[in-house]
Amino acid sequence: MPKESLDVSESLEMVKLLARKIIEAEPILTDADRNLGDGDHGLGMQRGMTAVLEKLESESFFDVKSIFNATGMAMMSSMGGASGALFGTLFRSGAKTLAEKPVFDASSLSDFLVAANEGVQARGGASPGDKTMIDALDPAANESIKSKNLPIDEALEAVAAAAESGRDQSKDMIAMMGRAKTLGEKSVGHPDAGACSIAIIFRAMADFANN
């Protein structure tokens, strides 16, 4: 039977799962970043998500908005640097659109992702095609608009598939932002590490909703 929406405790468990999945993926993310950047993305994300788990386990939550907001704040304060600001902005901008309500459905997911996508693009200045996290986030946000009226499990599955396909397409792009920019044509052939993180985050959310 399709799942229409997630309640507060399910949403909390979903975010904890995505945090654990990112922590587990540290070697993959580190490798991805070593090909293009300075190799610190995996460790930064691991540090950020460890702080997220600590925060989510030590506080009580009564609405979904506060869960995502706490996630964004924990990432920002623990990671530092550009990736802390960008991933923190993703969760904080997304959270701002959610009313303080106790359910998370496909319509909230779409509001969340559209605002998160706009927020991250405004903060970092990257556009789709620049070989950044946006190349997984932007297709995910677009897909969420189409999936607005679906049950949450189906919507999350569609969003995760869009993010994964965006991550794969980032392999063929030439980096236009950040440290990888100096590599020019040499950046082709590897996916962007930030896009890899986005794909892992949505895959974990979809797997949670579908199990």
Partner 1 sequence: MKKLINDPLKVADELIDGLVEAYDGDCVKVGTRSIIKTEIPEGKVALLIGGGSGHEPIYHGLVGTNIADGAACGDIFAAPPPDIVLEATSAVSRGKGVLYLYGNYAGDVMNFDIGAELSSEEGIEVKTVLITDDVCSAPAKSKDQRRGIAGLVLIVKMVGAASQSVESLDELERIAKLTVLQTRSVGVSMSPGSIPATGKPTFEIDEALIGLGMGIHGEPGVSEIPMTTADDLTPQMLDLIFKDFADDSDVDELKEGDEILLFVNSLGATTMMECLICLRKAKEYLNERGILVYDTIVGPLVTCQEMTGISFSVTKLNDELKGYWDLPCESLCYTKL
User: Is position 82 an interface residue for partner 1 (rule: CB under 8 A)?
Assistant: yes
* Listed ranges 62-70, 73-81, 153-161, 165-173: which one lies at the site for partner 1 (CB under 8 A): 73-81
Closer CB to partner 1, 79 or 115, in the complex: 79
Q: How far apart are CA 132 and CA 103, in angstroms?
A: 31
Binding flags for partner 1, 118-147, as an x/- string (CB under 8 A): -----xx-----------------------
Q: Which residues contact 131 (CB under 8 A, 6 or more apart)?
A: 170, 173, 174, 175, 176, 177, 180, 187, 192, 195
Which helix (H) or strand (E) segment is 5 a member of? strand 5-7
* Listed ranges 9-17, 79-87, 147-155, 203-211: which one lies at the site for partner 1 (CB under 8 A): 79-87
User: Is position 94 an interface residue for partner 1 (rule: CB under 8 A)?
Assistant: no
Residue located via tokens 């896009």:
195
User: Is position 73 an interface residue for partner 1 (rule: CB under 8 A)?
Assistant: yes
* Listed ranges 26-34, 59-67, 70-78, 137-145: which one lies at the site for partner 1 (CB under 8 A): 70-78
What amino acid is encoded at 30 in this protein? T
User: Is position 2 an interface residue for partner 1 (rule: CB under 8 A)?
Assistant: no
**List 84, 94, 139, 166, residue binding partner 1 (CB under 8 A):** 84
Q: How many residues bind partner 1 (CB under 8 A)?
A: 17
**List 32, 70, 76, 163, residue binding partner 1 (CB under 8 A):** 76
User: Is position 176 an interface residue for partner 1 (rule: CB under 8 A)?
Assistant: no
What minimum distance in Å lies between the beta carbon of 81 and partner 1? 4
Q: Which long-range contacts (CB under 8 A, 24 or more apart) does 92-100 make?
A: 92/68, 92/119, 93/118, 93/119, 93/120, 94/68, 94/119, 95/65, 95/66, 95/68, 95/69, 95/71, 96/69, 98/63, 98/64, 98/65, 98/68, 99/65, 100/63, 100/65, 100/66
User: Is position 80 an interface residue for partner 1 (rule: CB under 8 A)?
Assistant: yes
**List 12, 36, 56, 86, residue binding partner 1 (CB under 8 A):** 86
Question: Which among 5, 2, 7, 18 is positioned nearest to 203, based on CA atoms?
Answer: 18
Interface with partner 1 by CB under 8 A: which residues? 73, 76-82, 84-86, 88-89, 123-124, 178, 182
